[in-house]
Each structure stands twice: as structure tokens, then as C-alpha cells.
A = this chain, B = another copy of it.
């Protein structure tokens, strides 16, 4: 028996147990490394990885300390008596081995894997194995099984609403924050849109990051319900809501190993939306040579997969393949993107027209989910709502209801990247712009990012600025500067060459 202690260390998704190297109760053999144990004493066993401590000030030989996550799960006071046993591999790891060997897994197997992930019996290594093993091939019905398993127990119900809408973009395009504009238009129209959004995954800013510039996005279920009931729309972080918890654990690993497959995109997006109680969903699949989805064939396969799983789980899907060949809007990075959005909602003349048009198009598709609307009218209704100022009004109400944010400053360290030649912008490399933005600190600081002055088809004079880099701190600024020298991401054809 050991005495329970808390070490207030957050290891994010993993439970850790700290044992003294001269533990009085167990022989700690450091050669049996990476040992997973079951800790007994609470209502249910808690699973954790052992860490061996050499310093009795941290953990004494008669203590076992748990990190914040595991301590919360065991739900016992410090000083409680606990014991531990070696944890055998969860039986569902056999399914991972079967998947590696090329088998098709049953829905029971996916459900067992997800349950073991939720009970923390899977380490992040095990989750990575699952992602890679299932990433190489999954049948459509396997994706369905995984999606169902990922939804989890917590599902939001929107009483009396027959239609609950949302929009999701599969991403990879810098700028492109249509979601916030769409939410304003749809809310003004009156369809309920509880937009659940993510923080930045691999981009300069996620939708939740950008909206966090304007309003608080960390709402709990009750707060979300209130905002949506009163304003018909909200934009909140799905992480904070703890929807599709297993998906959150899997996505954290996916982000770290940087491996994303169509099958996991599908199950992840649909599980979150189903957990959020969405009944009608528009999905934007942007295609471009430097976007996440590179060919129309790939986009079409993804569309079919999403449609199949959506149909089987009774969520109405309208998946739209769009042009993802260049950034959408001018700003890349949370503060700059929020600026573009407000310009569009305010009907400013210098608002980026590409972002405005795309938002109207997608908002129109959502409005057409309403049986009362005559087919083909969605875009026009959306445009009327925007130009009349009703979208801005709805947005302001939502911001006020969620809690207005103290707007962060735009990064003051700037550099203009100029064109070496006079000519026409032939192409803009999404991946490059994204990379420069991230190096400038955009994934960490809302004020960092890139302000694009020229888009494809624009003429440019020699020495004229193509874009401006904004950074918040000098280290990031130096990083971005060192990389931009090599390749700016812009291709310019000399005048007369086209």
C-alpha cells in the first residue's frame, strides 16, 4: 500500500504516476521501461504510465503521486491508501494488430478501441499506432463504425428545433474564415447554428482562434444553449465543450504526428457535429495544388465518403467542392482575419470580395436547408441579409452574448515583401504562406500573421509590396524573415509574357 499524492503537472492527455526509485512496496526496475500500471483504491482502476522519481522531495518511497489528469480521475484525497498492478495490454490492441495485417475491423472492435482510449488504457503511442494502422486503409463501413463510436455519450439536444445547421471547412487555405460571416447571416435569417469550431490545428489560426479575437469562445453547454436560443447562433470551441472526447484525444496525437487521412477527417468532423446535435451540415472541400486536398478526384472520394457516413447516421450533408488554389481574404492570422470579417459585415468598400462572395455562396447553401425557402433563393437572401446590415447586427448580438473579448493588438514587428519584377500575380502558394505565418508566430499569437496586398490576377509594379509580415516577438520575426528570403510563395509573370 502506498499513500496517494498529487503532483500538479498537466501532461495533457496522458495519465502519469510518479513512483520513487526506492519504493517501499514495489521493485522499480528501470529496465522494464515505459510501464503501464493500474492504480487501485478508487471506484474504478485508473491507468497510468510510471515515471521514476529520484528525489524524495517530489515523491517519498512510501508514496505514489499522480499528475493532475490521473489525480482527478482517481477521485480520492491525498493520503488515501492505493496499490498498483502491472496493466496488461487492453484486449482491443489485438484489433490494431489485425488492422496492420490488413483486416477489416467490426463495429464492435471500433467501439472497444474507442472505449479503451476513453478509459486511458491507450497511451499516446497506442493511439498513434491506431491512427497509422487504420490510416493505410479503411472501408466506408469501418469509417461509419469509427464515427459512431467517436460520438460518445454526450450529445446536445436542441428541443423543438427540426433543423440545426452548421458549416465546416476542411481547411488548408490561409484566411478563409467564412464560418463567422456565415453564422452571422444564418442567425439573422433565424436558423439555429451552434457553430463548434477548433483551435488552430496546422494553420495560422483556427476558426475558434479568430473568433476569440472578438468574443469569448469557451462556453459550457448551458451557456451555449442560452446564446443560441436567444440569438440563433454562436461560435464556440468544441474542445471546451468536451464533445466527442475520444476524438479530442485522438486528434491531439494526430496533430503531433502530423498524419491526417481522409478516413479520420470524416469520422472526426461528423462525430463532433453529431455530438453537437447538428442535423444539416454544409461541408466546404477546397481543392488546390497547395491546399490539403490536392485534386478533384481526391475531393470527390472524400465527398462520397462523408455523404455515405452522413446518410447512415441521418445527418443531412451538402458537401461542396470549392477553389482552394490561393488564400481567401487578405488577412492570415487571427487579428487580421477578424479585421476582414468585420469589414465584410460592415459592408466596407475595401472588404475582401473573394471572402465575401464565398461566404454568401455557402451561407446560401445553408439557408436552402429551410423547406420554407424556394430553391435557388439562398444566395440572394444571404446577400440581402448581409447588405442590409442585419448580419452585422446578429454578429454584434452574438459577440455581446458570448462576452466581448479584449481585442489583441496586431503584431508591431512588420516587414513588407516586395516584388522583384513588374507583372501579374500568377499564383500564391498556400502552404508557403501558411508556413511563413506560423513561423511569424501566428499559431501562438493572434496578433501575428500575414496581410496580403495582392491576389492572383492582380498587376504589380517592381518594388511594390506583395504582403506584410506581422510578428509579436523578435525571435519569431527573425524566423519568418530568414525563411521568406528563400521563396516568398508568389509567382509573378513579367508584363507582356502572358
Contacts and interface: CB of A to CB of B under 8 A. Distances in A.
Nearest to A240: B31
Interface residues of A, number: 63
Interface in A78-107: 83, 85-86, 89, 93, 96-97, 100, 102
A9 B53 contact: yes
A179 to B, nearest CB: 18
Contact of A444 (B32, B102, B479): B32
A184 B340 CA distance: 79
Contacts of A24: none
A132 interface: yes
A55 B86 CA distance: 29
A3 interface: no
Contacts of A135: 100
A136 interface: yes
A402 B32 CA distance: 22
A424 interface: no
B54 A30 contact: no
A27 interface: yes
A324 to B, nearest CB: 20
A10 interface: yes
A255 B58 contact: no
A83 B129 CA distance: 33
B34 A86 contact: no
Copies in the complex: 2
Interface stretch (A118-126, A156-164, A165-173, A488-496): A118-126
Nearest to A36: B256
Contacts of A125: 124-125, 127-128, 253, 256-257
Contacts of A13: 33-34
Interface in A470-484: 475, 479
Contact of A8 (B9, B58, B475): B58
A85 B475 contact: yes
A258 interface: yes
Interface string A22-50: 00000101111110100000000000000
A252 B10 contact: no
